[in-house]
Chain A
Amino acid sequence: MGIAVLLKQVPDTTAKISVSGGRVDESAVNKWSMSPYDEYALESALQLKESGGGDLVAITCGPSRAAKMLTDAAAVGADSLLHILVEDISGLDSTQVQSILAAAVAHSGSDIVFCGKQAADTNAGSTGPGVAHLMDASCVTMVSEVVSDGSSLTAMRASSDGNERVAVSAPCVFAFDKGIIELRRPNVRGIMMAKKKVAETLSPADLGVDISVSSVSIIGHNPPPQKPPGQKFEGADSVAAVVGKLRDEANVI
Chain B
Amino acid sequence: MPRKPSNIIYSADETPPLGTQLVLGVQHATLALLFIVYPLVAATEAGLSFDDTQIFITSCIIFMGIATLVECLPRYGSGLLLVQIPNMAHLPLAVQSLAAGGPALYAGMSLIAAVSQLTLSRFIGALRAVFPPEVCGVAVTMLGVALADPALRRVFGITGEITPDLDLRYAMVSVVTLVIIIVLAIFSRGLLRLFAVAIGAGAGWALAVYVGVAPQPAESFATLAYIDLPRLGFPGLSFFSWALIPAAIITGIISAVDMLGTVVSMQRMDDADWRRADLGQAGRAIRANTIADMGTAVTGGFASASSSAAIGVAFATGTTAWRVGAISGILMVLAAFSPRLIGLLTIIPSSVIGAILVYAAAFLIVAGMELILSRRLSDRRIFTVGLAILAGLAVAILPELVHITPEWMQPILESPLSVATAVAIILNLIFRIGIRQEASRDVTVEENPFTVATEFLENQGDLWGARRDVVAIAIPVVAEGVEMLLDTGVAPGKLEMRAHFDEENFDVSLIYDGEPIAIPTHRPSPEDLLGDAQAVARFVGYMLSKRADKLVLGTDGTHQKLTLRFEH
**Are both chains from one complex?**
no
Interface residues of A (CB under 8 A from B): none
Interface residues of B (CB under 8 A from A): none
